[in-house]
Amino acid sequence: MYIIDREKNRISKLKQKSFSELKFREREHLQEWIANNPISLGEELLIIQKEFSGFSEMNERLDLLALDKLGNLVIIENKLDDSGKDVTWQVIKYASYCASLTKQDILRIYQDFLVTTAIAQDKISEFFDNREISEILLNQGLNSQRLILVAANFRKEVTSSVLWLMNFKIRL
């Protein structure tokens, strides 16, 4: 990346820095950036929960839970600079935990997330072009969950396993 000096008609290369070097943090910054502007991931998503930990008997929490325009749950796992070597396993676990969530579960999860008096059903209906909530299918089938990994750099262990999983129609 370069900075342009219009007056001198010159460019100069910017020094690359990691998020950590710039004192950005995963939860406070990266997660909030995505939650407040999910289109930054390249598509329209409705964030329905942050730091979701509603898994019975599990002391784990996923970073962001969203819906896509097809009604699929989207599990978003954020890593600030480096993906680490186990992020693929981590996000697969979260998808398995979310596979059994019903429409009512999703409405409850989203209602808990909303900080205003807005009604989750109304917001979901609006996201789906004002369709009636009864017509909207959410989280249908064991393989309807999608997985998104966010990191500045992905380790070989992660890219290799993701490519292999994609051969089995895992949407990662």
Angle 152-158-164 (CA atoms, 0-180°, nearest 5)?
Answer: 135
In total, how many domains does the chain have? 1
Q: Is the pLDDT of residue 117 over 80?
A: no
User: For residue 132, what is the domain's CATH number?
Assistant: 3.40.1350.10
Distance in angstroms (rounded) separating the CA atoms of residues 170 and 151: 19
Q: Quick one: pLDDT at residue 152?
A: 92
Higher-confidence residue of 159 and 116: namely 159
| Domain annotation covers residue 144 | yes
Q: Quick one: pLDDT at residue 22?
A: 94
| Domain annotation covers residue 11 | no
| Domain annotation covers residue 172 | no
Q: What pTM value is reported for the model?
A: 0.89
